[in-house]
Structure 1
Amino acid sequence: MTRKNFRTRTPLPRLSLPPWLSGSSRAADWSDNSIRYCYGNRFTEPGIDQDVAKPIIAFTHVRGHEYVSNFLNVDTLNFDSSDPAKDSNEGAQERLVCSHQVSLSKVSGVKLAAGPMSDIAISAGVDFGAKNTAFAAAPRKLMLGRTVKFSALVGWAELNLPCNKEENNNGIAGTRFKSIRPAASPTLGASRS
């Protein structure tokens, strides 16, 4: 798989967030944007017996200030003729993931740290996708829950405990799938100091 990263890291000391995002206008403390290109020719897809080639273009934006952090990721996946679009020789899939966290320690002014736990946040997000094949997958996920943040020797660690509401599609059977369920997802990250 070939991977190219184009990254910009820009401090934004005077950028104001809309009041509906943060409760009041606040300047962003940090921001990071990246555009990535990946290519692989050995991906697998449900119902496809052969390897599928995909070039993937992705844009990621993260931003935060004292109380809030935001994350946005948009992927465009272009499939080869091994996984064609309905009535076509080509296929494509797009996916959008967006999340928003509010630190309870910083908003309340009460330190919620204990042992390795450094903070608790309220998290909300969406995950939308579409694939224009006969199956016509179209996931729509809404997430709301809490995130426990941990101190780490290098970088950071989080445990997300959201409740997910998901709808999806099965174009072959002509049905929509709906579910509401709790979930847990650990996230680990390392940062350079």
Structure 2
Amino acid sequence: MSPLVTRTALALLASCACAAHAADWSDTSLSYRYGTKFAEPFNNNDITKNIVNLSSVSGYKYGKNFFSVDFLMSSEVDPSSAGAKSGAHEAYALYRHTLDLGKVTGSSWAFGPVRGVGATAGFDFNSKTDAGYNSKKRMIVAGPTLMLDVPGFLDVSLFALWESNAPYNTFTGAATPRYAYKTHPMLTAAWGIPFNIGIPLSFEGFANFIGTKGKNEFGGDTARETNIDMQIMYDLSGAVGAGKNTFKVGIEYQFWKNKFGNSDTNNPGATAKTPMVRAEYHF
């Protein structure tokens, strides 16, 4: 990433963060999900993972903020170091800020099924203790967002991604200097749509379609990536005497092809098809 892009992105993110204190509304949640069919590139085993998530979304006068951090705990078939009998641990943090251009300009940007247009910027950051790769991902994202006129929300964005990594292989002891991939695109959608069939439900999730990012840090080609994660959630708050949307439970499914840009040709672990159970507490 060029110094100019870095300075611009950091300045934008800093200004976005300053807006968070003036939130008009917010929703913070603590959730847990569990599945036994997770996959990792170059690992042919089905991996069990327990995942704890902390998320916060808030809106203020000119837009909204979203922050999420996953703490992922793998079973021993995704080991934490060479020869280890314990599973790897990972933290994955994500932040997005969307500036609503209609609110900034004081005029409507609505057209057709679109109720508003935004400019979004943010970052992804991860650290994992697995033996084979030991990911240390850093990524800046920026691009336009269309906010569609649906119950709840449906946001569709087209981002440019500036991504780098600096892995360390505990099998070989080889440390790779931080490597920047080619700037590449991502078409992404995020949604939360309530519906009722006699019980209060919601359809939630995200979908990422990511272009190739050039050569990887080892000189190999990268592949187009698809990551779709969706869930049907039941709001059981009324059944336990709590406020609406306080407690939710549901089922989740993730389809992740060519994970992290690794082709699944002769590499079945690069594509995951993972059912999960999920529970959330909102406060």
Percent identical pairs in the alignment equals 29
How far residue 179 of structure 1 moved from its aligned partner, in angstroms, is 2.2
Specify which of 184, 187, 199 is matched with residue 184 of structure 1.
187
Specify which of 47, 62, 65 is matched with residue 42 of structure 2.
47
Specify which of 60, 63, 84 is matched with residue 68 of structure 1.
63
CA contact (8 A) 1:169 1:177 kept: no
Instruction: Give the equivalent residue in structure 2 for 1:58.
Output: 53
Instruction: Give the equivalent residue in structure 2 for 1:165.
Output: 162
1:32-181 equivalence runs, <5 A: 32-87=27-82, 88-90=84-86, 91-133=88-130, 134-152=132-150, 154-172=151-169, 174-175=175-176, 176-181=179-184
Unaligned runs of 5+ in 1: 1-18
Letter in 2 for 1:142: I
Unaligned runs of 5+ in 2: 1-13, 196-243, 245-283
- Mapped to 2, the partners of 1:39 and 1:150 lie a distance apart of 31
Higher helix share: 2
Letter in 2 for 1:105: G
- Mapped to 1, the partners of 2:134 and 2:91 lie a distance apart of 12
CA contact (8 A) 2:20 2:65 kept: no
Give the aligned CA root-mean-square deviation in angstroms.
2.4
TM-score (norm 2): 0.56
1:22-37 equivalence runs, <5 A: 27-37=22-32
TM-score (norm 1): 0.80
Equivalent residues, number:
174
Deviations 1:19-56 (A, max 9, x none): 93378797422110111112222222222222111111
